[in-house]
Amino acid sequence: MIEARGLTKRYGATLAVNDLSFEVRPGRVTGFLGPNGAGKSTTMRMILGLDKPTSGSVTIDGRSYVEHDRPLRKIGAMLDAKAVHPGRSAYHHLLALAQTNGIPRRRVPQVLELVGLESVAGQRAGGFSLGMGQRLGIAAALLGDPAVLLFDEPVNGLDPEGIRWIRGLLKTLAAEGRTVFVSSHLMSEMALTAEHLVVIGRGRLIADTSVDALVGGSSFNTVRVQSPQAEQFTWTLAANGAQVDRASDGTLSVTGLEPARIGELAATDGITLHELSVKQASLEDAFMELTEDSIDYKAGHHAATMITANGVMS
């Protein structure tokens, strides 16, 4: 279990991480979601004791990272796929890491086989593709058979087959009871792998919730209502606090009221309903709604107009 309390990191005038508190529990994949520059990597480096928090703390199973004896046996991390000496073979890269923490040498070929790099184990890592580098980073994270795993943007640079492989791996690791914390700026990816989400924007916690609850709680969840008495029913709904959009064909899109309540109101007023259905927002919609204020560089309206004026869009 990872616990962050009031975690804050300041670089000069910039607050990269701002009073961040969250928990990452074992047995499920927790996604760490946020736009680029939101502070995900900084947070991960603080978890690993690489960067010192300006204030606040983060612990792994109750102890800070540096207090763990032989940390690779407790926490495995993949931060950067390019973080290898280009002249060193994959095998020796992993061997040196294993030796620091007293991990038996025989473990090295095991993890190489697990990530599918056994055939290139003796080759220099400088010639590896980004995808192979990611696999080597994952192998390093798994070396110590750790109970807690951190992955920073693990699907970057992987081909579709590799992406499917890592999704399966993350789920398997979580099913084995491990704590799995995966950062990503791709909500579509997290929708497929994560059960729980920690969402940040501009260094602040935006949501700490399950994927289902995030989608369910989105204001983009609307209820579609069709009725021959649509106009009359609109007044009833509005009087009960709902926001109603009426399309030209008379279909109502209702937000702010549960479908059950809408049904009850219809019964009370004697309204005939032809359709009462929930239209669920995607995780993408929910995420965009949450982080709208937190994206540092949003495409401005001006830019879009200029592109159209130049005829690029049409």
Partner 1 sequence: MSTLSLPRVSGVKAHPHPFDVVRAEVTKFRSVRSSYWSLLVAAVVTVGFAALITNESARNYATMSAADQAAFDPTSDSLTGLLFGQLAIGVLGVLAITSEYSTGLIRTSLSAVPQRFTYLSAKAAVVGVMALAAGLVISFTSFGVGQAIFSQHGLAASLGDPGVARAVIGGGVYVAVIAIVGVGLGAVIKHTAGTTVTLVGLVFLVPLLMDALPASWDTVTNWTLPAAGQALATAGQTDGVLSPGRGLLVCLIWVGGSLAAGAYAMKRRDA
List residues binding partner 1 (CB under 8 A): 45, 48-52, 65-66, 69-73, 75, 77, 79-80, 82-89, 92-93, 95-97, 99-104, 107, 110, 113-114, 140, 142, 144-145, 172-173, 176
Minimal distance, residue 71 CB to partner 1, in Å:
6
Dist. CA 132–CA 82, nearest whole Å: 10
For residue 71, the tally of other CB atoms under 10 A from its CB is 20
State in angstroms the smallest separation of the CB of 190 from partner 1: 22
Our CB check for partner 1 shows the closer of 139 and 191 to be 139
Nearer to partner 1, 5 or 124 (CB): 124
Q: Which is nearer to partner 1, 104 or 160 (CB)?
A: 104
Q: Minimum distance from CB of 28 to partner 1 (Å)? A: 17
Is 125 or 214 the residue whose CB approaches partner 1 more closely? 125
- Phi-psi domain of 177 (left: phi exceeds 0; alpha: psi -120 through 50; beta: other): left
Number of CB atoms found within 10 A of residue 308's CB: 11
Minimum distance, C-beta of residue 236 to partner 1, in the bound complex (Å): 56
Q: In the chain, which ranges are E strands?
A: 2-11, 14-24, 29-33, 55-60, 75-78, 148-152, 179-184, 196-201, 204-210, 222-226, 243-246, 252-255, 275-279
Report how far apart, in Å, the C-alpha atoms of 132 and of each of 59, 142, 184, 260 are: 31, 15, 19, 52
- The span from the CA of 42 to the CA of 9, in Å, is 8
The distance of closest approach from Cβ of residue 79 to partner 1 in the complex, given in angstroms and rounded to an integer, is 6
- The residue among 49 and 56 lying less far from partner 1, judged by its C-beta, is 49
Give the nearest distance from C-beta 82 to partner 1 in angstroms: 6
**84 or 191, CB closer to partner 1?**
84
Token pair, residue 212, equals 């289902």
